[in-house]
Amino acid sequence: MKKVISTDKAPAAIGPYSQAIEVGNTIFTSGIIPVVPESGEIPEGSVAQAEQAFKNLMNLLEAAGSCAEKVIKTTVFIKEMNDFAAINEVYAKYFKEPYPSRSCVEVARLPKDVMIEIEAIAEK
């Protein structure tokens, strides 16, 4: 049975999807973008956007009864591969060894023209 997870500490869904779904002991998040939930603003620059996106992700995981240490897999979508090293530095602030498995892909465009979007699969 699946359970919808939502929190006002992460951006609300901007389409017909849930922020996250719990199935059994596993949490599947939707793509999280760097929108400040309280204001709807988007920070300037790739590092600030990465910080906000990861903060939003951590808040969503917490709402689901999980945390960074329980993340199994992430997928990171970035607008500019030249930001890869800077985003890795932010990523390393939130995830410690053993790191989750990860895919990172450059994409042409993301919702609201942000520079990063991240999704995760985690244990509860």
21, 63, 86, 104: the active-site residue: 104
- CA–CA separation, 80 and 29 (whole Å): 23
Nearest-CA neighbor of 78 among 44, 52, 104? 104
Non-local (6+) Cβ contacts of 55 within 8 A are none
Active site residue 104: yes
For 90, the token pair is 């932010």
Helix (H) or strand (E) holding 120: strand 116-123
For 29, the token pair is 């998040």
Q: Beta strands 101-106 and 71-78: pairing type?
A: parallel
Catalytic residues: 104
